[in-house]
Amino acid sequence: MHPIGRDPMSHPQSPGKFVPDVHRTVHSNQKVAQLKNKTNGKIALTVKDIQQIENEFPPLKYDANKPKRLGNTGIIIKFDKTINKPVIEK
């Protein structure tokens, strides 16, 4: 005999399902992770930060003249002329 009602957790598109660890994005750069959890903000970067970001987002090549998006995170990397440093902002 089959149960009368289906278990809602057994459906593959159930909202109760979690994203497997294999598909989670873990950011190697703490500044990107910090800004990703905020709704907006701006953080200055060092040369080491830029290298980590370029390794984490492979097609990205930092250019001081062109702002670039970091994947689908909503974060932009660009050069801020007011503080004379590269920044990420959301």
First-to-last alpha carbon distance for the chain, in angstroms, is: 55
pLDDT for 66? 93
Q: Where are the domains of the chain?
A: 14-89
pLDDT band at 79 (very low <50, low <70, confident <90, very high): very high
| Least confidently predicted of 9-18, 35-44, 62-71, 81-90 | 9-18
Two tokens at 21? 């660890």
pLDDT in tens, 8-59: 555 555 555 566 666 666 667 889 888 888 889 999 999 999 999 988 888 8
Say if CB 67 and CB 76 are below 8 A apart: yes
